[in-house]
């Protein structure tokens, strides 16, 4: 069975460019032919602000939306976070979606498709990394960072700059390698 890559679309804004960027990345992931792809759009999933009474470590979830999110994340073997940069950080819906769960994230690799202006979303990724480490996610170094991403949207589709396809492939290769290496840690718990 092929490992499952969950692509998380972090921006929930109407008119977000994150959706066409994530769609481009999903087509790269499909063409890479290593992973089953789960396209997880946080706008569609519509989690409320964290409303569980117990610490997520306990897995004692009260709400159907949490149980559904838990099942979906637990089924994933690796993640790609498609994230804009908001005020030099990452969007609140992403933090909220991460905070809902704990074990479901543990010992799984994560890569970034970041975008923004001149900094290409890299400041968002820098702030995201300590949060991911607290969840025992394992960030891979290979990354996809898109500067001035708004200029690359043509008729609602993302037109990648030269070299970005290769960056996506390098990240997908790294995620696949890490899935294998981390598997024993996951089965040990």
Candidate list 7, 18, 61, 100; residue touching ligand FMN; CB under 6 A = 18
> Quick one: which of 57, 68, 92, 150 contacts ligand FMN (CB under 6 A)?
150
Among 16, 107, 108, 178, binds ligand FMN (CB under 6 A): 16
Is position 116 an interface residue for ligand FMN (rule: CB under 6 A)? yes
Both tokens assigned to 94: 């992403």
**Do 152 and 113 form a contact (C-beta atoms < 8 A)?**
no
Question: Which of these segments, 54-62, 112-120, 135-143, 168-176, binds ligand FMN (CB under 6 A)?
Answer: 112-120
Whether residue 47 contacts residue 91, with contact meaning beta carbons closer than 8 Å, is answered with no
Does residue 152 bind ligand FMN (CB under 6 A)? no
Q: Is 126 exposed, middle or buried (0-12, 13-18, 19+ CB in 10 A)?
A: middle
CA atoms of 181 and 189, how far apart (whole Å): 15
Is residue 114 involved in binding ligand FMN (CB under 6 A)?
Answer: no
Query: By CB under 6 A, how many residues form the interface with ligand FMN?
Result: 14
Residue 85 phi, psi (nearest 5): -110, 120
Number of neighbouring beta carbons within 10 Å of residue 25: 27
Please, which residue, 9 or 176, has the CB nearer to ligand FMN?
A: 9
Cβ 89 to ligand FMN, closest distance in Å?
7
How many Å apart are CA 77 and CA 71, to the nearest integer?
12
- Work out how close the CB of 68 gets to ligand FMN at its nearest, in angstroms, rounded to a whole number: 24
142-151 as b/e: b if 16+ CB within 10 A: bbbbbbebee
Based on the shown chain and the rule CB under 6 A, indicate whether residue 17 belongs to the binding site for ligand FMN.
Answer: yes
Binding track, positions 81-110, relative to ligand FMN; x by CB under 6 A: ---xxxxx----------------------
Residues near ligand FMN, by CB under 6 A:
11, 13, 16-18, 84-88, 116-117, 119, 150
């Amino acid at each position: 069975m092929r490992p499952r890559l969950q692509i998380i679309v972090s921006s929930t804004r109407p008119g977000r460019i994150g959706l066409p960027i994530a769609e481009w990345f999903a087509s790269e992931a499909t063409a890479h032919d290593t992973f089953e792809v789960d396209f997880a759009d946080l706008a569609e999933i519509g989690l409320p602000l964290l409303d569980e009474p117990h610490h997520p470590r306990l897995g004692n979830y009260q709400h159907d939306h949490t149980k559904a999110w838990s099942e979906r994340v637990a089924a994933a073997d690796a993640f790609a976070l498609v994230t804009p940069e908001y005020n030099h950080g990452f969007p609140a819906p992403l933090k909220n979606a991460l905070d809902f769960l704990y074990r479901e994230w543990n010992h799984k690799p994560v890569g970034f498709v970041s975008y923004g202006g001149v900094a290409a979303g890299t400041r968002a990724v820098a702030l995201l990394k300590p949060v991911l480490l607290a969840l025992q996610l394992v960030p891979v170094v290979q990354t996809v960072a898109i500067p001035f991403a708004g200029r690359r949207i043509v008729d609602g589709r993302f037109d990648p700059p030269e070299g970005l396809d290769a960056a996506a492939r390098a990240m997908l290769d790294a995620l696949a390698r890490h899935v294998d290496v981390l598997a024993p840690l996951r089965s040990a718990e």
